[in-house]
Homo-oligomer: A and B are copies of this chain.
Amino acid sequence: MDLSNDDIRRHVREALAEDLGPGDVTTLATVPETASVAAAVVAREPLVVAGLALAEAAFRELSPDIRIRAETADGRPAAVGACLMRLQGPARPILSAERVALNFLQRLSGVATLTARYVRAVESTGARILDTRKTTPGWRRLEKYAVLCGGGQNHRFGLYDQVLIKDNHLAALQGAAPNPVAAAVRLARQQYPALRVEVEADTLEQVRQAVEAGADVVLLDNMSLGQLREAVALARGRARLEASGGITLETVRPIAETGVDFISVGALTHSARAADIALDFLPDAPAAAEPSRA
């Protein structure tokens, strides 16, 4: 997965329109049109970088005359004080785009950084960290891209690219079929032969049914470590297993050690806090006397 030019352009233009509205009144009133600056985007805490292309596009959109140099790349760790990007050019567009650029970078680096902590926590267990569909509406591609930057992997992108049968789907077949899990898997295979089929299981009996019905993956919802181990024993060789439900940085390693293939973590996207990143200015040129009219 990769951010497309189209996604970057649409997100950045919408964000600038939202923030600038009819114009950046402070900058227009106080900063001369001819003033220029040098500035650096700097990490204020240890983090994993994500979103440089969006930050760069925010500045570019306001002026083609800003020189921009990325000092790192998405997916790389940054220490406190590390410079992520350097800017030099007209002061007005740099000041006006600052907050939008940082808002993208801080939120996406926040997701990448949290993901990287989960990934590190399960290191060498063989389990992989997945995201979920609990993303900010309108931001799914951005946030799933940030999960990749943090070393995680992407679960399905939406309701369209994988079948995931939950208890609410099964409820609809309850009366109609003796084995609803088998019936649901069969219906899904029939209609969508090209898609992977996953089944949610709350009990070991459901795990057994799902494996026998030929599910590609079984989602183990809120199971104890003991149940997870039994599910692994029961399924091995026939379906892959995904642990899910209220997983934290404290619980993720023992879960990974049960032998499940995937651990999906909603918090990666729904509860990451923004990474602390700032733009530091260094005036690089003598300012003109009084600003000319806007």
Interface residues in chain A, defined as those with a beta carbon under 8 Å from any beta carbon in chain B? 1-2, 4-6, 11-32, 35, 37, 61-62, 75, 91, 95-96, 99-100, 102-104, 106-107, 110, 128, 130, 133-141, 144, 148, 153-166, 168-176, 184, 187-188, 190-196, 217, 240, 261-262, 266-267, 270-271, 273-274, 281, 283, 286-291, 293-294
Which B residues lie within 8 Å of A135 (CB)? 103
The chain B residue with its CB closest to the CB of A188 is B29
Which of B163, B170, B283 meets A29, CB within 8 Å? B163
Closest-CB distance, A95 to chain B (whole angstroms): 6
The chain B residue with its CB closest to the CB of A282 is B171
| A103 B134 Cβ-Cβ under 8 A | yes
Closest-CB distance, A273 to chain B (whole angstroms): 3
| B22 A138 Cβ-Cβ under 8 A | no
Which B residues lie within 8 Å of A100 (CB)? 137
| A26 B289 Cβ-Cβ under 8 A | no
| A29 B187 Cβ-Cβ under 8 A | yes
In order of increasing CB-CB distance, the 6 nearest A-B pairs are A271-B273, A15-B137, A21-B160, A161-B161, A1-B23, A270-B274
